[in-house]
Amino acid sequence: MRRLILSASFVTVSLLSASAARAYDDAGPQSAPVATDLPVAAPTPGPRPAPAVAPSPAPVAVAVDPDEDRTPVEATRAVDAPIAKDGPGDWAILHAGLKPELRTFAGVGTFALAGARTETFYGALSFAGVRNEVKRHYGVMQLTLGRNEARTFVGVAQVGLTENRAKSMIGVGQVSIAINRAKNMAGITQLGAYNRVGKFYGATQLGMYNRVDHSFVGLGQIAAYNRADEKFVGLGQAGVFNHARGHFSGLAQIGIVNATGRSLYSEHGTEAGDGFTGIAQIGVVSSTQGSFAGVAQIGAQALTMGDFNGLVQIGALGATADKFRGVAQIGLVGFSKESYGLQVGGGAIALEEHTGIQIGAGTYGKTLTGAQLGVINISDDVRGVQVGLVNHASRLRGVQIGLVNHAKEGGMLPWSTILNIGFDETGSDDTFAAPVAAKARRDRGLPIAR
């Protein structure tokens, strides 16, 4: 029994020892991790960084809403990339849209709510709400509430609420409340507040402001201001201010101010500009920088800087010409360098020569062939009659009738009253002919005998 107990005790102790040893091995000391001097960043929460991508040749900057739960890459991907578009196409019969672009259209018409662009149009009507652009228009009408533009227009009309433009216009015309412009136009009319064209061949420009940069060939210009820069050929200009800066050929200029040539006023004897050929200039101021050839020049001021060839020149304040050849020059002052005809005014003045009759309060002609009738009559060389209160002649071949008559040479008496007669015994006809002959030789550039 004793042996049995000892044997059981020994087995029990052995089992307990084995269990303890195994437990020690499991919980025994292990090697610790090796410490390092490099700091290790603690991981931070956040989205995983986007993978690197190849740089785009045209990067697009994208604004990311900080409140929006999207990464910049996701936001960039959300932007629509540009999509290649087809060029303008061809269309037939009828086309409508918001802002159509067509290469060639042939049919009834095109209708655009906003703007339209067409390279070549064949049809009846091209309409756009705001802007109607056509390179080549062959049809009836270009219509818009805004602006019409055409490089070449062949048809009936451009009708625009605000503006019509054409480089080459062949048709009835351009009609607008505001502006019409063309480089070259062959048609009936430009009708608008402001009309301007390079060359005009047609009937009329009608508006508030009409201007032709080069030549006008047609019926006429009617506006508050009419202007033709190089030449005007037509019936006439009618308005407040009519200005043909080149030569005017037509019937008449009728307005407040009528002018031909570059400037309204210039000095006598300066280089003459283009003139007037027609019937009449009628206005408050009628001015011709060059020569006037017509029937009448009438105004408060009637001015011809070159030669006047016509019937009458009438200026309430003054009538002037470099050389006057006509029936009558009438004004408060009738003034010319040379005059042939009748001069009537408060003053009648011929700086060099007068052939005809001078009537006025005061008359002067350096060389007179004819008659002077006035209060005071003065001439260097008189071949004719002087009738007035005071008559003066440096050389007299004729008659002086007046209260005081003075003739330095040729008179019966140097001073006389009532009547003086001059026979020019000192030089006969040569005395009077010499100044005229000398002037003629001087005008031809010939030497003057002394």
pLDDT tens digits, 357-371: 999 999 999 999 999
Distance CA 326, CA 435 (A): 23
Burial 73-84 (b: 16+ CB within 10 A, else e): eeebeeeeeeee
Is pLDDT of 347 > 70? yes
DSSP 87: P
Q: Where are the alpha helices (DSSP H) in 120-248?
A: none
Taking alpha carbons only, the member of 152, 180, 178 closest to residue 165 is 180
pTM of model > 0.75: no
Could you tell me the CA-to-CA distances from 129 to 72, 144, 148, 315 in Å, in that order?
42, 5, 10, 54
What number is the average pLDDT over the span 94-103? 84
User: Which residues lie across from 93 on neighbouring strands?
Assistant: 107
For residue 88, pLDDT beyond 90: no
Amino acid identity at 332: L
Please write the tens of the pLDDT for every residue from 282-328. Answer: 999 999 999 999 999 999 999 999 999 999 999 999 999 999 999 99
Task: Note whether 188 and 202 are within 8 A (CB).
Answer: yes
> Which of 340, 325, 220, 316 lies closest to 304 in space, CA to CA?
325
Q: Is 63 helix (H, G, I), strand (E, B) or coil?
A: coil
Per-residue model confidence (pLDDT) at position 31: 39
Here the contacts of 58-64 (C-beta below 8 Å, separation 24 or greater) are none
- Please tell me the distance from the alpha carbon of residue 278 to that of residue 199, in angstroms, as a whole number: 21
Q: Span 102-114, mean pLDDT?
A: 91
Give the whole-angstrom CA distance, residue 201 versus residue 208: 20
Which helix H or strand E contains 205, and what residues bound it?
Answer: strand 204-217
Whole-number pLDDT of residue 425: 56
Separation CA 412–CA 405 (nearest Å): 11
Q: Is the pLDDT of residue 190 over 50?
A: yes
pLDDT band at residue 195 using 50, 70 and 90 as cut-offs: very high
Segment 258-274 shows an average pLDDT of 69
pLDDT at residue 35 in the model: 39
Beta strands in 292-311 (DSSP E): 292-293, 296-309
Q: How many CA atoms within 13 Å lie on the side-chain side of 198?
A: 8
Q: What's the rounded mean pLDDT across residues 422-438?
A: 56
Q: Where is pLDDT greater, at 98 or 190?
A: 190
pLDDT at 96 over 70: yes
SS3 37: coil
> Sign (positive/negative) of CA torsion 188, 242, 296, 383?
negative
For 328, which DSSP code? E
DSSP state of 275: -
* Per-residue confidence (pLDDT) for residue 370, from 0 to 100: 96
Report the pLDDT value the prediction gives residue 172, as an integer from 0 to 100: 96
Q: Is the CA virtual torsion 223, 227, 233, 239 positive or negative?
A: positive
The pLDDT of residue 355: 96
Task: Please give the pLDDT value at position 44.
Answer: 45
Q: Which two tokens stand for residue 31?
A: 């090697």
Q: How far apart are CA 99 and CA 8, in angstroms?
A: 109
Distance, CA of 265 to CA of 420 (rounded, Å): 43
Does residue 109 sit in helix, strand or coil?
strand
**What distance in Å separates the CA atoms of residue 43 and residue 363, rounded to the nearest whole number?**
118
Cα–Cα distance measured from residue 157 to residue 159, given in angstroms and rounded to the nearest whole number: 6
Q: What is the percentage of the chain residues whose pLDDT exceeds 90?
A: 65
User: For residue 107, what is the enclosing H or E element?
Assistant: strand 101-112
Please report the sign of the dihedral spanned by the C-alpha atoms of residue 96, residue 97, residue 99, residue 105. Answer: negative
DSSP state of 411: B
Position 225 scores a pLDDT of: 98
CB 223 within 8 A of CB 208: yes
State the average pLDDT over residues 143-167: 96
